[in-house]
């Protein structure tokens, strides 16, 4: 399977980076073709510029500045996101990837009535591996926006029968080595079945 892994953490010494390395190693070890996209290391520009917005609905122009990322997304059969949750949201670089790469004509087609038709049917499996500074209860009370976007918006763009999994380690602000080890083992077990 061709798998696009989107990693969005600027520190190579972070627990998120350790999770990312483990996910990539397991998937490659299982024989998958992994496109490892470290957004920070690649210098991805998350800013949707004025011109990007002007060109947004023009299918002949909207991919121009992100064509290589669009090609990578369209070549994938699975998508894995590895990221920290900051301020109850995606890191700016990952949110910017969604804004700039999940374009009309790429992840959806706009209909005459303003609705949309999903077009990322090449994606048959999606997963998220993330860390939250806060605890699960506080996150639930805040509505857990990253989980909602993953389970509703992102899920709606891929194949209707795509399998999905959201793996979250809560309470990073007060975590322990033992808790991190248990979560890393959970991630290992999950991806070893891919």
Span 158-194, pLDDT tens digits: 999 999 999 999 999 999 999 999 999 999 999 999 9
As a whole number of angstroms, the distance between CA 141 and CA 89 comes to 14
Give the pLDDT of residue 143.
87
b/e for 48-71, b at 16 or more Cβ within 10 A?
eeeebeebeeeeeebbeebeebbe
Give the CATH number of the domain where residue 161 resides.
3.40.50.360
Span 83-93, pLDDT tens digits: 999 999 999 99
Tokens of 26: 């397991």
Instruction: Look at 139 and 27; give whichever has higher pLDDT.
Output: 27
Give the pLDDT of residue 115.
87
Percent of the chain residues topping a pLDDT of 70: 100
Span 36-46, pLDDT tens digits: 999 999 999 99
Instruction: Report the phi/psi class of residue 138: left, alpha or beta, with left for phi > 0 and alpha for psi in -120 to 50.
Output: alpha
| Domain that includes residue 81, residue range | 2-191
Q: Parallel, antiparallel, or unpaired: how do β-strands 33-38 and 78-85 relate?
A: unpaired
Asked if 36 and 7 count as a contact pair (C-beta separation under 8 A), the reply is yes
Domains in the chain: how many in total? 1
pTM of the model: 0.95
């Amino acid at each position: 399977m061709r798998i696009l892994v989107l990693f969005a953490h600027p520190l190579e010494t972070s627990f998120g980076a350790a999770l990312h390395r483990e996910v990539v190693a397991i998937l490659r070890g299982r024989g998958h073709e992994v496109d490892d996209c470290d957004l920070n290391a690649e210098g991805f520009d998350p800013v949707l510029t004025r011109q990007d917005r002007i060109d947004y609905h023009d299918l002949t122009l909207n991919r121009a500045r992100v064509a290589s990322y669009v090609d990578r997304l369209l070549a994938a059969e699975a998508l894995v996101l590895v990221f920290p949750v900051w301020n109850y949201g995606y890191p700016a670089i990952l949110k910017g990837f969604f804004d700039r790469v999940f374009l009309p004509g790429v992840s959806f087609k706009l209909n005459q009535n303003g609705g949309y038709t999903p077009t990322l049917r090449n994606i048959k499996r999606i997963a998220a591996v993330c860390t939250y500074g806060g605890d699960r209860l506080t996150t639930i009370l805040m509505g857990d926006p990253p989980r909602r976007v993953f389970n509703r918006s992102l899920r709606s763009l891929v194949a209707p029968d795509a399998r999905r999994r959201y793996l979250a380690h809560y309470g990073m602000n007060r975590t322990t080595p033992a808790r991190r080890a248990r979560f890393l083992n959970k991630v290992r077990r999950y991806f070893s079945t891919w």
